[in-house]
Structure 1
Amino acid sequence: MINPQAAGYIGAALATVFFGSNYIPVKNYPTGNGFAFAWVMSIGTFCTGFIAMAISGKFIFIPWGLLGGSLWAIGNFCVIPIVKTIGLGLGMLLWGCTSLITGFFSGKFGWFGLEKQAVEHTGLNWGGFACIVVAIALFFFIKPTLKDKGPKSEYDYSPIVEDMSINYHRNNRQAEPVEEPMFFERMPAPYKYLVGLTLAVVSGVLYGVNMVPMQLWKQNNPDANSLEFVFCHFSGIFLFNTLVFILYSMFDRPPQIYPQTILPSYLSGVLWGIAQVGLMVATQNLGYTVGFPIGSSGPLIVSSLWSVLLFKEIQGKKNLIFLGASFLFLITGIVLITLSNIKSL
């Protein structure tokens, strides 16, 4: 049987690789306003939950798992309005830092009924946490280079976050996407900015606490397999996304569904599910003060490497300097947090 600490670090490594790569399948496919994409993605995640349950060899269903999955799903639905109102850079900075701080403090100070999670070397733990926060802040100064693909046609692909209303000509020979602003985009600038900031913080808090129900269950069942809770958690994600998609389909006819995006969305959900399983294993075995910050911050390295090496989105001397500095702080933080949990130091 694998040592719990070793299992935790393996889980953090899985989270790092797959969270950093899970959106690659849909990178160049249209996702519309995101509702259909999120629903199909949740199906892939739900299927991953079945595999985790089979590996655990035990079927259990804890209603609290539905709450944890729903909290994550609510936070995820905030992403599109955040990007539309304050941009991806500031949005990621806010929800990333808020998520990290919320999760870390929840374990460190015993919030929400969690047991306070002590480490062997408190100074190293706090130092690593501070380095990761600085690393996330440095990402805000990196300006990606996005290619202009020119006019779009029926078969052109679009970015992950896009709200398009498709109008078809009567001759049905060509479909011209006409962008229509969402309601929050029509707000006056100060209010729109405030909405974006608020949603980013709320999203980060939800990301930070979505595994609290799992941790409370683990406290009461310390000998349970780390994978036993996964199916309940993923069921909450799937059921919440299904409910939202049904309601959306009732009020927005026809819903924006792109057939060519269905399989990539499903694959994205499978990859995300593997990553979330890794983060859950890391958090269960290493706690919110070690496993959660490593598994949450490590993906920034992988996703940035994809942007530099494959998609060429991060270019220029200034951007690469900020990226290198961020990597330095990030790797230092992960090493310090890892060392803070080793007894022999």
Structure 2
Amino acid sequence: MALSGLLPALLSAVAFGLQYVPVKKYKIYDGTTFQWFMCSGILFVGVSVALLHGDLQYSVPPSVVMGGGIWALSNFAVLPLVKLLGIGLGFSLYHFQNMIVGYLVGRNGLFGLPRLQPAFAGSLYVCDLGCLLVLVSFVGLLLVEGRGSDSEKEKEPGPAPSVHGKGQLDQIEEQHEEEVALDRNLRLLESSGFSAFAVEVEDDEQAPHSPDAAPPEAETERRKTWRKVALGVLLAMVAGSLTGVQSVPATLYGLEHPEYPTTAVFFPQCLGAWFASTGIYLLYGGIARLRRKPVLHAVIRPAMLSGFLWAVGFIFMIQGIHELGFAVGYTLDAVGPIIIASIMSMCWFKEISGRRQLMIYWSAEALQLLGVILITAFSKQ
């Protein structure tokens, strides 16, 4: 496997794995304004790179712009998904779908992409085994219980939120105490480079009932639970699938125009992400206005810095896919950030401790590494 392809894939994994570290200790509230600030940072880097490389002379293909919009939509869909299923199960299902869709698209040459070529007869079955090992490793990571960082967050609280049309936090607390109390439970989890949001919501339904209170109807509760699970699984499948195909238009455009540099698709992708996130924010803000709800704003500079890192990761990802092919390149860039972020979670933030937890964690990481080696070593580019 050419170093020219592996090196960009590695750099992309590092950038995607680090992208949410700048906002780890800050509240993102409902995530809507956070994503808009983040995508503004993405667009800033996109315009800067286009000006430096002279990429504005090339056309802005609508398909690539749509690819950026698909990423923004899938990224935003993770918020309700994790609310419904929780961080562990929600992100695992999301990554399952993202990983398998990206691999199958390149493996079978869907949407007009070149098919993954075997290094020798039957070697693609070994690649399939590698993909299966990576998926099994996600199950292992689901069993790892991080101890969190609530005490750290309390010591270093984020700045008070600003609200569109209001300048004083006390006005929010007086008029919207319930919303502020709920938003206090929201935080970001830097578990991968392909997802933006995670949520910690206290489950009021699990609070003990007073003896005088009537017990809830078991059947009704079961139906509500199954509806939540079904909706969460559906969102995981949709969000993971969208993420798995969001870079297909950019890859196809690069194949159709080999005379263009790989950065030619970068600005259109960034523009699409910003355009979609702006539409989401305007729609959300309009609905909130009609319902007389506050639009809480997240921190600006850390969110934009996260966008900078995502943009850098996407540049290297496109270069890696160009050199290695979609199946291998995307798989490396889907699994690599999870490894990077998990290592940071354990070594830097100390969120994984205990012999049993560490054994499960390192076993899962070993499966991921073995799976990636099998995919890259037994395919031909």
The interval holding the TM-score normalised by the smaller chain is: 0.7 to 0.9
Q: Which amino acid in the other structure matches residue 338 of structure 1?
A: T
Structure 1 residue aligned with 2:302: 264
Alpha-carbon shift at residue 188 of structure 1 (Å): 2.1
Q: Does 1:157 align with 2:158?
A: yes
**Residues 1:127 and 1:55: Cα distance change in structure 2 (over 3 Å):** farther
Deviations 1:121-144 (A, max 9, x none): 424422322222222221111111
- 1:234 counterpart (253, 262, 270): 270
Distance of 1:293 and 1:277 partners within structure 2: 16
Q: Which amino acid in the other structure matches residue 144 of structure 1?
A: G
Q: Which amino acid in the other structure matches residue 201 of structure 1?
A: M
**Residues 1:248 and 1:322: Cα distance change in structure 2 (over 3 Å):** same
Q: Secondary structure at the match of 1:33?
A: coil
Distance of 2:346 and 2:247 partners within structure 1: 32
Q: Which amino acid in the other structure matches residue 311 of structure 2?
A: G
Q: Which amino acid in the other structure matches residue 106 of structure 2?
A: G
Q: Does 1:199 align with 2:201?
A: no
Alpha-carbon shift at residue 338 of structure 1 (Å): 2.4
Structure 2 residue aligned with 1:178: 181
**Residues 1:274 and 1:122: Cα distance change in structure 2 (over 3 Å):** same
| Alpha-carbon contact 2:116-2:380 (below 8 Å) kept | no
Distance of 2:325 and 2:171 partners within structure 1: 59
- 1:243 counterpart (248, 269, 279): 279
Alpha-carbon shift at residue 339 of structure 1 (Å): 1.6
Structure 1 residue aligned with 2:215: none
Percent sequence identity over matched residues?
A: 28
Q: Which amino acid in the other structure matches residue 36 of structure 1?
A: T
Structure 1 residue aligned with 2:255: 219
Alpha-carbon shift at residue 55 of structure 1 (Å): 5.0
Distance of 1:234 and 1:112 partners within structure 2: 22
Trace 1:262-341 onto structure 2 (pairs within 5 A): 262-341=300-379
Greater radius of gyration (CA) = 2
Comparing 74-83 with 135-144, which one deviates more in the overlay? Answer: 135-144
Q: Secondary structure at the match of 1:315?
A: coil
Alpha-carbon shift at residue 70 of structure 1 (Å): 1.0
Alpha-carbon shift at residue 113 of structure 1 (Å): 2.6
Deviations 1:35-88 (A, max 9, x none): 000000001111221233245433221111111011111111111101111011
| Alpha-carbon contact 1:40-1:262 (below 8 Å) kept | yes
Structure 2 residue aligned with 1:142: 144
Structure 1 residue aligned with 2:65: 66
Distance of 2:7 and 2:153 partners within structure 1: 45
Distance of 2:116 and 2:370 partners within structure 1: 22
**Residues 1:152 and 1:130: Cα distance change in structure 2 (over 3 Å):** closer
Q: Which amino acid in the other structure matches residue 295 of structure 2?
A: P
- 1:33 counterpart (30, 35, 59): 30
| Alpha-carbon contact 1:15-1:296 (below 8 Å) kept | no
Q: Secondary structure at the match of 1:144?
A: coil
Q: Which amino acid in the other structure matches residue 330 of structure 1?
A: Q
| Alpha-carbon contact 1:125-1:289 (below 8 Å) kept | no
Comparing 46-55 with 144-153, which one deviates more in the overlay? Answer: 144-153
Number of matched residues?
327
Runs (5+) with no aligned partner, structure 1: 159-165
Distance of 1:295 and 1:152 partners within structure 2: 34
Q: Secondary structure at the match of 2:151?
A: coil
| Alpha-carbon contact 1:35-1:245 (below 8 Å) kept | yes
Structure 2 residue aligned with 1:161: none
- Structure 1: which 4+ aligned runs deviate by more than 4 Å? 150-153, 166-173
Alpha-carbon shift at residue 178 of structure 1 (Å): 1.7
Distance of 2:139 and 2:256 partners within structure 1: 37
Alpha-carbon shift at residue 150 of structure 1 (Å): 9.8
| Alpha-carbon contact 1:65-1:233 (below 8 Å) kept | yes
Deviations 1:138-173 (A, max 9, x none): 1111111124439979x8339xxxxxxx99546999
Structure 2 residue aligned with 1:163: none
Structure 1 residue aligned with 2:84: 85
Structure 1 residue aligned with 2:213: none
Distance of 1:116 and 1:150 partners within structure 2: 48
Q: Normalising by structure 1, what TM-score?
A: 0.86
Trace 1:6-155 onto structure 2 (pairs within 5 A): 6-59=3-56, 60=58, 61-120=60-119, 121-149=123-151
**Residues 1:192 and 1:6: Cα distance change in structure 2 (over 3 Å):** same
Distance of 1:303 and 1:171 partners within structure 2: 35
Runs (5+) with no aligned partner, structure 2: 160-166, 187-202, 206-222
Distance of 2:244 and 2:152 partners within structure 1: 39
Alpha-carbon shift at residue 213 of structure 1 (Å): 0.9
